[in-house]
Amino acid sequence: MPPQIPGLDIPVVWSEDCLRHEPGGEVWLGVREQGTEVPERAGVILAAVRAAGAPVLPAVPHGDEVLSAVHDDALIGHLRTVWAEWEARGYVSEHGRDRVVPYVFPTAGMLAGLPARSPAATHGRLGLYCYDTMTLIGPGSWEAIRAAVDTALTAADLVAAGAAAAYALCRPPGHHAGPAAYGGSCYLNNAAAAAQALRRAGAERVAIIDIDAHHGNGTQAIFYDRADVYYGSLHVDPGAGWFPHYAGYAGERGSGAGDGANRNLPLAPGTGDAGWLAAVDVLCAEAAGRGVDALVVSLGLDAAQADPESPLRVTSAGYRAAGERLGRLGPVALIQEGGYDLPSLGGLTVAALAGVMAGAAE
Catalytic residues: 176
Q: What strands, in cross-sheet order, belong to the sheet with 12-14?
A: 56-58, 12-14, 165-168, 332-336, 294-299, 206-210, 229-236, 262-267
CA 199 to chain centre: 18
**Minimal distance, residue 271 CB to ligand SP5, in Å:** 16
Chain length of the chain: 362
Of 226, 249, 224, 360, the closest CA to residue 297 belongs to: 360
Residue 254 burial (CB count, 10 A)? 19
**One symbol per residue from 9 to 48: x for binding ligand SP5 (CB under 6 A), - otherwise; what is it?**
-------------------x--------------------
What are the phi and psi torsion angles at 83 (to 5°)?
-65, -45
186 makes contact, choosing from ligand SP5, Zn ion, none, with CB < 5 to 8 Å by partner type, with: ligand SP5
Q: Quote the least distance from Cβ 126 to ligand SP5, whole Å.
A: 18
* Cβ at position 298, least distance to Zn ion in Å: 9
In 3D space, the residue among 147, 121, 124 whose CA is nearest the CA of residue 20 turns out to be 147
Give the single-character DSSP code of 60: P
- By CB under 5 A, the residues from 24 to 53 that bind Zn ion are none
Minimum gap (Å) between residue 221 Cβ and ligand SP5: 15
Give me the least distance between CB of 173 and ligand SP5, in Å please.
4
- Closest approach of ligand SP5 to the CB of residue 304, in Å: 12
User: Residue 252 binds which entry of Zn ion, ligand SP5, none, with Cβ cut-offs from 5 to 8 Å by kind?
Assistant: none
Q: How far is the CB of 200 from ligand SP5 (least distance, A)?
A: 25
Residue from 231, 243, 276, 319 in contact with ligand SP5 (CB under 6 A): 243
Site stretch for Zn ion (CB under 5 A), options 7-15, 41-49, 162-170, 213-221: 213-221
Number of other CB atoms surrounding residue 240 within 10 Å: 13
Strand partners, 322: none
Q: State the binding string over 120-139 for ligand SP5 (x if CB under 6 A, else -).
A: --------------x-----
HSE, side-chain direction, 13 A CA sphere, residue 324? 8
> Can you count the helices (H) and strands (E) in the chain?
11, 10
Q: Do 216 and 176 touch, CB atoms closer than 8 A?
A: yes
User: What is the contact mask toward ligand SP5 in residues 267 to 306, using x (rule: CB under 6 A)?
Assistant: ---------------------------------x-x----
Q: Is 235 in the site for ligand SP5 (CB under 6 A)?
A: no
User: How far apart are the C-alpha atoms of 295 and 208, rounded to whole Å?
Assistant: 6
Residue 219 near which of ligand SP5, Zn ion, none (CB within 5-8 Å, type-dependent): none
Region binding ligand SP5 by CB under 6 A among candidate stretches 65-73, 84-92, 111-119, 184-192: 184-192
* Contact status, residue 254 vs residue 221, Cβ threshold 8 Å: no
Nearer to ligand SP5, 134 or 292 (CB): 134
Question: Which of 208, 202, 201, 144 minimizes the C-alpha distance to 173?
Answer: 144
Which residue in 334, 295, 80 sits closest to 205, CA to CA? 295
What does DSSP say about strands 31-33 and 26-28: parallel, antiparallel, or unpaired?
antiparallel
Q: Is 302 in the site for Zn ion (CB under 5 A)?
A: yes
Choice between 300 and 359, CB closer to ligand SP5: 300
Integer angstrom CA distances of residue 206 from 196, 240, 285, 296: 9, 30, 14, 7
Decide if residue 214 touches ligand SP5 (CB under 6 A): yes
Task: Give the residue closest to Zn ion by C-beta.
Answer: 338
What are the φ/ψ torsions at residue 266 (nearest 5 degrees)?
-70, 140
* Total of residues contacting ligand SP5 (CB under 6 A): 16
Helix axis angle for 316-329 and 273-290, nearest 10°, is 10
Kindly determine how many residues on this chain lie close enough to bind Zn ion according to the rule CB under 5 A: 6
Q: Where are the alpha helices (DSSP H) in 130-233?
A: 141-160, 190-200, 217-223
Binding string, 300-339, against ligand SP5, x = CB under 6 A?
x-x-----xx---------------------------xx-
Binding site for ligand SP5 (CB under 6 A): 28, 134, 173, 176, 184-186, 212, 214, 243, 300, 302, 308-309, 337-338
Binding site for Zn ion (CB under 5 A): 212-214, 300, 302, 338
